[in-house]
């Protein structure tokens, strides 16, 4: 039976998962890496540490598969999106740290560009908006603030890209500098209609074409491992940004199907087919996948702080020792006691897009306990997600009959029930929740013939549990109205200077 090796490079850890032909997990390896916060609003990664941890877990998973007699056919890559690496082409070493998708340092530059009245033009070309979340202003910042970078870039000595491009470059020993269409669509530098880097966008952000990778399909062999490693010779046959990979792993192939991923952040995507649908509710239009010469699109809403709020309860407040304890603590009270927690630790994403919003807790009384805070934290994940799904409903003429969920926090039954209640829509958790890695494996497997077509992938998707709404529509509306009041109090808090 053929197996696929999926490299799932995330915001806080690098993982490698081996999937069998049925889409079941066979082997897993994972390593966390350090987060760097040099200034308020800044988030950085050591790109070399990302490479080392990703290679280590890939080799570990491969060794486990070999011990079990499993044959690896190809590699698929899913990655944290919008995080930017700048590196030396000759040595393959990064020049400085990577700037992470959560980073807010270019907020002022985005304000300047928006004030010039160019956001409509930008959105028409890219499906995005001026926000520090995206890769374009991050790359421009690296070029402007790294010694001799612009001169070296113009001379062709530097390369840049998102994490997928970085990993492929290292895996192929520098032979291939490529990115897939989904990751390219998150840079502010690609015209999502032509599928190519756009000269007007490059000029707008001051990014030289010489540093950028070639754009390739999401499914297709784009190189093979060429370094001294047990991985050597394996084809790299699938790549996608983590959220598009999860959409694929959830078999959301028909227009109108929606998934929401509960990870460090939360990301809701709706398949819109071959039509790039503009949003009227400040959502994003993005590429869902490109297979051969066919491009498919999605509408997306992005939440910057989702499951990460549980890590804050653990590490910041110390109210739990392990993240797994949050469900029991939150479930020890019937509700949040009127407490609302807006986890705008890195600003707010869709539909607010406020880089200056900051975390806010309202409704605290003398009777508020750690359990109420834990309940409010879980509620904040579901409430933010509900805002996104409602915006998707408003943008699309297609009704949303169910929400497919995945990501680490979707195993929390209390959270999933709360999501169904607040949305007044069934929530469906799949049997295999590792859908980000699974999507990368599917993309790779389709490229090398493990599966003949997407109908074979669809037949492998199955539900584990379905959560039906258990409260009234009036109760859900009242809770969401109070949440909206709490969000209003968080907006613009750091506009006085934080996040420069």
Residue 350 is assigned to a structural domain of this protein = no
Residue 54 is assigned to a structural domain of this protein = yes
Residue 290 is assigned to a structural domain of this protein = no
**Chain segment 236-256, per-residue pLDDT in tens:** 999 999 999 999 999 999 998
Name the more confident of 497 and 274.
Answer: 274
Residue 312 has pLDDT above 80, yes or no: yes
Residue 309 is assigned to a structural domain of this protein = no
Query: Total structural domains in the chain?
Result: 1
Enumerate residues 6+ apart whose C-beta is below 8 A from 27: 16, 17, 18, 61, 64, 65, 68, 70
Q: What pLDDT shows up at residue 397?
A: 72
Residue 431 is assigned to a structural domain of this protein = no
**pTM score of the predicted model:** 0.87
Distance (Å, whole) CA 338 – CA 87: 49
Tokens 């046959």 locate to 237
Find the helix or strand (DSSP H, E) in which 112 lies. Answer: helix 107-115
Residue 306 is assigned to a structural domain of this protein = no
Q: Running DSSP on this structure, what letter comes out for residue 227?
A: S
**Chain segment 147-201, per-residue pLDDT in tens:** 899 989 988 999 999 999 999 999 999 999 999 999 999 999 999 999 999 999 9
CATH number of the domain at 6, please: 3.30.420.40
Residue 139: strand, helix, or coil: helix
**Chain segment 415-465, per-residue pLDDT in tens:** 999 999 999 999 999 998 889 999 999 999 999 999 999 999 999 999 999
The tokens for 186 are 């998150």
Please spell the DSSP secondary structure of 169-211, one letter per residue: HHHTTTS--EEEHHHHTTSS-EETTTTEE-HHHHHHHT--GGG
Q: Running DSSP on this structure, what letter comes out for residue 324?
A: G
Residue 498 has pLDDT above 90, yes or no: no
Find the helix or strand (DSSP H, E) in which 99 lies. Answer: strand 98-99
Residue 202 is assigned to a structural domain of this protein = yes
Domain that holds residue 185: 2-243
> Which band of pLDDT confidence, cut at 50, 70 and 90, is reported for residue 346?
confident
Pair 428, 403: CB distance under 8 Å: yes
The tokens for 314 are 């653990």
Find the helix or strand (DSSP H, E) in which 82 lies. Answer: none
Tokens 């491969």 locate to 62
Name the more confident of 324 and 475.
Answer: 475
Q: What pLDDT shows up at residue 69?
A: 75
Residue 294 is assigned to a structural domain of this protein = no
**Chain segment 463-474, per-residue pLDDT in tens:** 999 999 999 999
Start-to-end CA distance of the chain, whole Å, equals 53
Name the more confident of 69 and 404.
Answer: 404
The tokens for 347 are 């600003």
> Which band of pLDDT confidence, cut at 50, 70 and 90, is reported for residue 408?
confident
> Which band of pLDDT confidence, cut at 50, 70 and 90, is reported for residue 496?
low
């Amino acid at each position: 039976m053929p197996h696929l090796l999926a490299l799932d490079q995330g915001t806080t850890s690098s993982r490698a998962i081996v999937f069998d032909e049925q889409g079941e997990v066979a082997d897993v390896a994972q390593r966390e890496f350090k987060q760097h916060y040099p200034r308020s609003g800044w988030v950085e990664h050591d790109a070399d540490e990302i490479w080392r941890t990703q290679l280590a877990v890939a080799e570990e998973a491969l060794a486990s598969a070999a011990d079990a007699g499993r044959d690896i056919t190809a590699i698929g890559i899913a990655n944290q999106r919008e995080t930017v690496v700048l590196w030396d082409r000759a040595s393959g070493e990064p020049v400085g740290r990577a700037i992470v998708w959560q980073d807010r340092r270019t907020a002022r530059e985005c304000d300047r560009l928006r004030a010039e009245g160019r956001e409509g033009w930008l959105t028409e070309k890219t499906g995005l908006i001026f926000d520090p979340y995206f890769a374009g202003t991050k790359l421009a910042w690296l070029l402007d603030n790294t010694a001799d970078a612009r001169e070296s870039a113009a001379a062709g000595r530097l390369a840049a890209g998102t994490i997928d491009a970085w990993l492929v470059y290292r895996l192929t020993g520098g032979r291939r500098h490529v990115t897939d269409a989904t990751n390219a669509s998150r840079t502010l530098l690609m015209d999502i209609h032509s599928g190519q880097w756009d000269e007007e966008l490059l000029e707008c952000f001051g990014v030289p074409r010489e540093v950028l990778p070639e754009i390739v399909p999401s499914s297709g062999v784009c190189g093979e491992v060429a370094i001294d490693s047990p991985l050597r010779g394996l084809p790299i046959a699938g790549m996608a940004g983590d959220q598009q990979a999860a959409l694929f792993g959830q078999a959301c192939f028909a227009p109108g199907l929606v998934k929401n991923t509960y990870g460090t952040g939360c990301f809701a995507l709706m398949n819109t087919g071959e039509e790039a649908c503009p949003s009227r509710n400040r959502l994003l239009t993005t590429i869902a996948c490109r297979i051969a010469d066919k491009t498919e699109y999605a509408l997306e809403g992005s939440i910057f702080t989702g499951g990460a709020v549980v890590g804050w309860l653990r590490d910041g407040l110390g109210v739990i020792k392990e993240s797994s304890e949050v469900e029991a603590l939150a479930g020890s009270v019937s509700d949040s006691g009127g407490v609302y927690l807006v986890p705008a630790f890195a600003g707010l994403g869709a539909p607010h897009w406020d880089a200056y919003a900051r975390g806010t807790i309202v409704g605290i009384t003398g009777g508020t306990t750690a359990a109420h805070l834990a309940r409010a934290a879980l509620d904040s994940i579901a409430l933010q997600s509900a805002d996104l799904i409602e915006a998707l409903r408003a943008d699309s003429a297609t009704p949303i009959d169910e929400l497919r969920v995945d990501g680490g926090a979707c195993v929390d039954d209390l959270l999933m029930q709360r999501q169904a209640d607040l949305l007044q829509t069934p929530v469906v958790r799949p049997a295999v929740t590792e859908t980000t890695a699974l999507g990368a494996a599917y993309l790779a497997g389709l490229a090398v013939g493990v599966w003949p077509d997407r109908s074979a992938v669809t037949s492998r998707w199955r539900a584990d549990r379905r959560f039906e709404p258990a409260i009234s529509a009036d109760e859900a509306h009242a809770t969401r109205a109070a949440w909206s009041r709490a969000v209003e109090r968080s907006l613009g808090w750091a506009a006085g200077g934080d996040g420069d």
